[in-house]
């Protein structure tokens, strides 16, 4: 199939989809056409038509004999004679019509069937009786006028012959014997011809009515057989035109083809609205929509090339579409074996964390507010080991303005060095400048379009804002509106501890907050070796970065509290956690204030982060 045929088929498919989308407009137009046709049948005046058929014959019996049996008249000429004033005047007198003879001539319908010598006369009137009287009157008036004309013509010919006979008889009185014989012969010939003319004039017959007019059984107009189908066809045509106009003037995106047709923006992925309404959430890898996201992931990998990249996912209109797309895109990239980090920068929407089964604890908000370390906010889902996630956090109102500051730029720069792909879920471009600020830190961007929520102007403005920041808009991801679609949330990766429960050790035993028997004191043992032994017993080995798999070099935490010289064994907060991520290249100085004061919002953090921030300060003088 060539490109022209493919374009034509695509255009036809778009029109078919548009008609399916606006079917109610087409149906309304068809119903309107039928209603108008029905109203016409009831309200329009009834018209009855009666028909009379007249056969036309020659009025001079000698003409057909001399012309080889052909008539000396034209039926088209006779049809015009039927509409003449002489005939219509006779009709006016017969039916007592108030119309003028000219108006009657315009109303009568005369047709000449081919290869025939008949005239079909039709007369329409408001009642069947008047219709029959009019048609019959025209037929009789026409024949009367035709016979009168024939008689007048024959009589004029007879008068000429009589004059000739009289002239011959005058000459006969003075003629000689020989001339008298010639003149007598002329008189006899003229007399015979005169006799024939007189006989013809007495028996003239210009035609006959072979079908007399009869009262019609019903009105001929308006005809239901013609009106109703015509009204339906006209209504369908009107409905199609209105549907096209309504669709063209509609400012909302209805199908993915509208994005390419109106905005010339390529559609990288389109999830159609199905009757079954496939639930959108963290889609299974082998589902149809999940495979579509895998194709998108491969296209992005091939387009961006080698190296580490930051991909921005934002919606043209506010809605959950950007969260769904960012989660599934990050999952699809992670299934290819790449290290992927999902940054939930849409602080007002915890949907991404819910889709991945991550509890709503400390996250990006607390990280930007310098309340926690980066290793404490990176979480994972057990089903996607190569996907790390930074959830929005709890204090989103306080951290809302931090997305446009230098702290966010430093964080994205550090994450870029560690992860193959960093997927940033940004707020909608219509809600503010957050998406623009994040676009300045990204290599490429995807615009999420929810149909039919998103408008063309929103997409156009969003693309223009991102282009101004230097990020390349690769295309759009189109999916149906998610307000009324149930979201599939997977099971959380790890059980969440209640607030009133103490932290647990890795082996499942109770932490330091549990009511355990106090150990027997060992006064002879020095404190420092005991602390070192406790560290050696609890340290499982070097901490590894889950993004790269490399061993993370231990370094002192900037905001760690100094331990008292006689402090007891370390609690679980000092133990390394394999479920967290440590990025050695992150400049935590930009996030941690010099004075490590107790956070007033520590109750909104996770258990571990809250214990870390609100840990009581040990006395400066030791135990």
Q: Which of 460, 391, 454 is nearest to 425 (CA)?
A: 391
* Model pLDDT, residue 603: 33
Rg (CA), the chain: 52
Q: In terms of C-beta distances under 8 Å and separation of at least 24 residues, what long-range contacts does 103-106 make, across chains too?
A: none
Token pair 């998103």: residue: 454
Token pair 């295309």: residue: 475
Backbone phi, psi, residue 619, to 5°: -65, 145
**CA–CA separation, 427 vs 454, rounded Å?**
14
DSSP string, 49-96: EEEEEEEE--S-THHHHHTTT--S--HHHHHHHHTSHHHHHHHHHHHT
For residue 535, pLDDT over 90 is answered with: no
User: What average pLDDT score do residues 421-440 get?
Assistant: 91
Task: Say if pTM beats, i.e. exceeds, 0.75.
Answer: no
Q: Express each pLDDT in 171-200 by its tens digit.
A: 887 777 778 888 888 888 888 888 888 888
**Full 3-state SS string of 356-382:** CCCCCCCCHHHHHCCCCCHHHCEEEEC
Q: Express each pLDDT in 260-299 by its tens digit.
A: 888 889 999 998 776 545 557 888 888 888 899 999 999 9
Residues 324, 327, 330: CA angle, nearest 5 degrees? 145
For 110, the 3-state DSSP assignment is strand
Does a cis peptide bond (omega within 30 degrees of 0) precede residue 452? yes
**CA–CA separation, 148 vs 143, rounded Å?**
8
Sign of the CA dihedral running 13, 17, 18, 19: positive
Query: In the predicted model, what is the mean pLDDT of the chain?
Result: 76
Q: Which helix (H) or strand (E) holds 19?
A: helix 3-21
Give me 91's structure tokens. Answer: 């009709």
What's the Cα-to-Cα distance from 509 to each of 84, 500, 515, 534, 606, rounded to whole Å? 120, 16, 12, 16, 19
DSSP string, 216-273: -SS--BS-HHHHHHHHHHHHHHHHHHHHHHHHHH--B--SHHHHHHHH---EEEE-PP
Beta strands in 290-420 (DSSP E): 309-315, 340-344, 378-381, 384-390
For 551, the 3-state DSSP assignment is strand
* Model pLDDT, residue 67: 55
Q: Express each pLDDT in 79-90 by its tens digit.
A: 999 999 999 999
Q: Which of 446, 443, 421, 435 is nearest to 342 (CA)?
A: 421
Q: Express each pLDDT in 96-148 by its tens digit.
A: 888 899 999 999 999 999 988 899 999 999 999 999 999 999 999 999 998 88
């Amino acid at each position: 199939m060539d490109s022209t045929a493919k374009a034509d088929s695509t255009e036809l498919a778009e029109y078919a989809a548009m008609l399916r989308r606006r079917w109610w407009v087409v149906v309304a137009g068809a119903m309107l056409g039928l209603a108008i046709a029905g109203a016409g049948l009831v309200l329009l005046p009834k018209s009855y038509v009666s028909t009379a058929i007249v056969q036309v014959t020659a009025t001079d019996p000698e003409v057909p004999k001399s012309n080889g049996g052909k008539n000396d008249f034209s039926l088209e000429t006779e049809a015009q004679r039927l509409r003449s004033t002489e005939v219509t005047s006779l009709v006016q007198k017969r039916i007592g019509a108030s119309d003028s003879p000219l108006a009657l001539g315009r109303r009568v319908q005369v047709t000449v069937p081919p290869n025939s010598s008949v005239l079909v006369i039709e007369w329409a009137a408001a009642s069947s009786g008047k219709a029959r009287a009019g048609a019959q009157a025209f037929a009789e008036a026409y024949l009367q006028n035709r016979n009168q004309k024939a008689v007048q013509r024959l009589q004029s010919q007879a008068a000429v012959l009589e004059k000739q006979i009289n002239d011959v008889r005058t000459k006969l009185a003075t003629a000689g014997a020989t001339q008298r014989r010639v003149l007598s012969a002329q008189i006899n010939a003229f007399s015979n011809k005169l006799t024939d003319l007189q006989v013809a004039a007495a028996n003239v017959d210009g035609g006959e009515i072979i079908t007399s007019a009869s009262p019609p059984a019903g009105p001929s107009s308006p005809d239901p057989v013609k009106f109703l189908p015509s009204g339906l066809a006209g209504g369908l045509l009107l409905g199609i035109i209105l549907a096209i106009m309504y669709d063209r003037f509609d400012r909302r995106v209805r199908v993915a083809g509208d994005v390419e047709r109106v905005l010339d923006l390529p559609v990288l992925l389109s999830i159609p609205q199905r009757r079954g309404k496939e639930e959108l959430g963290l889609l299974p890898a082998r589902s149809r929509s999940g495979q579509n996201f895998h194709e998108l992931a491969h296209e992005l990998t091939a387009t961006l090339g080698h190296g580490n990249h930051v991909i921005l996912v934002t919606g043209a209109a506010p809605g959950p579409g950007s969260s769904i797309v960012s989660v599934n895109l990050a999952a699809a990239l992670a299934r290819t074996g790449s290290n992927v980090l999902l940054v939930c920068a849409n602080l007002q929407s915890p949907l991404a964390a819910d889709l991945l089964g991550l509890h709503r604890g400390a996250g990006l908000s607390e990280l930007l507010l310098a309340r926690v370390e980066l290793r404490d906010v990176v979480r994972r889902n057990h089903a996607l080991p190569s996907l790390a996630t930074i959830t929005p956090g709890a204090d989103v109102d306080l951290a809302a303005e931090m997305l446009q500051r230098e702290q966010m730029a430093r964080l994205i720069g550090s994450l870029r060095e560690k992860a193959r792909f960093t997927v940033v879920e940004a707020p909608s471009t219509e809600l503010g400048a957050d998406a623009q600020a994040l676009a300045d830190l990204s290599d490429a961007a995807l615009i999420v379009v929810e149909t039919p929520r998103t408008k063309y102007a929103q997409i156009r403005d969003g693309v223009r804002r991102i282009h101004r920041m230097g990020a390349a808009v690769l295309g759009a991801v189109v999916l149906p509106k998610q307000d009324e679609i149930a979201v599939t949330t997977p099971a959380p990766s790890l059980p969440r501890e209640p607030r009133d429960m103490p932290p647990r050790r890795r082996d499942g035993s109770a932490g330091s907050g549990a009511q355990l028997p106090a150990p027997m004191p060992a006064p002879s043992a020095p404190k420092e070796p005991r602390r070192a032994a406790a560290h050696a017993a609890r340290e499982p080995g070097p901490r590894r970065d889950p993004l790269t798999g490399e061993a993370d070099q231990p370094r002192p935490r900037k905001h760690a509290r100094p331990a008292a010289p006689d402090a007891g064994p370390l609690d679980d907060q000092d133990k390394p956690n394999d479920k967290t991520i440590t990025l050695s290249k992150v400049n935590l100085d930009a996030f941690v204030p010099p004075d490590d004061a107790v956070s007033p919002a520590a109750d909104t953090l996770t258990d571990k982060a809250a214990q870390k921030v609100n840990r009581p300060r040990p006395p400066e003088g030791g135990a």
